[in-house]
A and B are shown apart, each in its own frame.
Chain A
């Protein structure tokens, strides 16, 4: 049964839910004094209601780009736009979920979730929504638990609910499932998809897990390091729900691996020569990207 895409919405709202990155550079000085080019000349457009993944090995600048989009950092040059407004600072319109759930340890689950409402001063009007969110993430019996009593997956669900309570137009997720075990991760991927379908929020997902990117996203942005840049944007046209072992899935996966490998290699040869630990083959790259023993052997 094919799940349908989110219903179309009014143009005004569309506008505010879209993101634009225009020629953004980010440099900073490392502790040892050297200049680090985290991002170089990145440009990207994310349409309203899209689910987009930023994929790449460590050091490619994906987390930096995400942070610039939340507004917690400013670019060295270039512009970032959320709809028709420039991104100048953090806002409740752009929610954020970290790899570490970062729940406020002094608040219960319920109070963590409603902290966005308290921060904006709208608790009295919107208090009833908190129960809906608790139900949504399946944590109603734990509403009065403290974060230290929760498992990793539960905590991450609370973090998601907390990020969504303000009905943000855009949700930015920085490796949200990286700390979870494989089974929980797969369940959580389904849950995030469910949330996305239910609400139509634009989502931008940073991950180093290619399978996750292909499984969840409409488009995959491949980034490579040194300097951090956008190598290529791939449209994923597979039907939802996606099958992790289908031929198309695996072909796309191989293609992406090749792309990342060669791009990385070209960049390396051009710049500094092969480094120790650099992946030389797609299999090595796959291992680096924590894909485990992939089903490459079975790919047709």
Chain B
């Protein structure tokens, strides 16, 4: 009697005839390293920095007669670095980082990216120049609301260690806000996914849970401050709670939608494979809902930033939101913009990381559906 091991005959009689598509590892390796052409565009940031510096030096200032010195120094650094980068551009290639070459690989990749993005960086520098013109030089917009870039750069340097009066400086505010943001986000996401799974799977839970979600979710954080103070003695915990609540709502909503849209045939097949409730929920419904869950996670990241400023108004000792409130009380908008720039940099980095995570987890999605 033929045994189980008898292989089925396929049209290919030997491996050479197998279909051409290799089962490629879904994480694409970086494109093969090749030396770029010598592109003059790599010098664009230096050219832009030169223009900006010239404008700053020669155009008379109208907004105030005491501009600061950090900004022109920064421009000179960009100029010199840009020239060096342009001259060495052919050295930098994309290298796959491994355990032993990580610092070198990271540096090479970063510089390669800088060369490739030179036009964008140049545009950024020209934007600084335009800002300088509109505010400090031509005073087209009024103080105190629109200080020039020199004031903002000076603030970043001055306030790094301490913002005055023995209070924490930007460095401490940055770490404090990051810790708060990440803990609030983590708590809110986990609870949101759990809640969404629960009400997505059990009709009874959905009956009670959806009204709760609709009532609680849209409440703005400012209205919840007294409750936060009542619930938690520790101001950090109240702040984390406020952020977690803001994140919970979109994540729960989209997890719910993801779970309810799982293809019934997946669940049917799993049941005929002998799956119990646990397998169906955690190994079929949850993976199938992951694309929607990631949409929720991105939305939650946005709302957590918006809530940060409010959450830091309940007794925390440091933080970017706290710093912004103080700066607004003084009408010192240079500080406000400095803090906003840092928040934007955070947001950009965290979003990039989140996209990377998503790319890794959702590696199974067809290229055409990717967002």
Contact = CB atoms under 8 A, between A and B. Distances in A.
Interface of A: 7, 70-72, 89-92, 94-96, 98, 100, 102, 104-107, 115-116, 118-120, 132, 135-138, 141-149, 151, 157, 162-163, 166, 187, 190-191, 194-195, 197-199
Q: Looking at B8, B270, B271, which has the most chain A CB atoms within 10 Å of its CB?
A: B8
Closest 4 CB pairs of A and B: A92-B274, A145-B23, A119-B275, A116-B273
B262 to A, nearest CB: 11
Contact of A162 (B25, B265, B273): B273
Contacts of B187: none
Contacts of B23: 141-145, 149
B101 interface: no
A150 B301 CA distance: 35
B294 to A, nearest CB: 13
A135 B10 CA distance: 11
Given A119-B279, A138-B10, A70 B3 contact: no
Interface of B: 1-11, 15, 18-19, 21, 23-26, 263, 265-266, 268-276, 279, 283-284, 287-288, 290, 363-366
Given A91-B274, A116-B274, A118-B279, A102 B269 contact: yes
A197 B2 contact: yes
A98 B269 contact: yes
B363 A146 contact: yes
A194 B8 contact: yes
A107 B279 CA distance: 14
A198 B4 contact: yes
B4 A132 contact: yes
Contacts of A198: 2-4, 6
Contacts of B6: 136, 194, 198
Nearest to B6: A198
B293 to A, nearest CB: 12
A299 to B, nearest CB: 31
A166 B364 CA distance: 25
Contacts of B2: 194, 197-198
Given A70-B268, A95-B272, 8 more contacts: A72-B272, A96-B269, A107-B364, A142-B23, A144-B25, A187-B11, A194-B9, A198-B2
Contacts of A191: 8-9
A90 B272 contact: yes
Contact of B274 (A7, A107, A120, A187): A120
Contacts of A147: 364
Contacts of A70: 268, 272
A164 to B, nearest CB: 10
A123 B101 CA distance: 38
A107 B288 CA distance: 11
Nearest to A159: B269
B15 A146 contact: no
Contacts of B263: 102
B26 A90 contact: no
Contacts of B271: 72, 89-90
Contacts of B265: 98, 100, 102
A141 B274 CA distance: 27
A258 B287 CA distance: 49
A137 B10 CA distance: 9
Q: Looking at A90, A100, A163, A199, which has the most chain B CB atoms within 10 Å of its CB?
A: A90
B274 A106 contact: no
A144 B27 CA distance: 13
Nearest to A105: B364
A198 B290 CA distance: 39
B3 A190 contact: no
B83 to A, nearest CB: 47
A174 B15 CA distance: 31
Contact of A119 (B7, B18, B273, B287): B273
A151 B20 CA distance: 12
Contacts of B25: 144
Nearest to A200: B1
A194 B2 CA distance: 9
Contacts of B272: 70-72, 90-92, 94-96, 163
Contact of A106 (B24, B276, B279, B364): B364
Nearest to B276: A119
Contact of B9 (A96, A105, A141, A190): A190
Contacts of A199: 4
Contacts of A98: 265, 269
Contacts of A96: 268-269, 272
Contact of B365 (A105, A166, A187): A105
Nearest to A162: B273
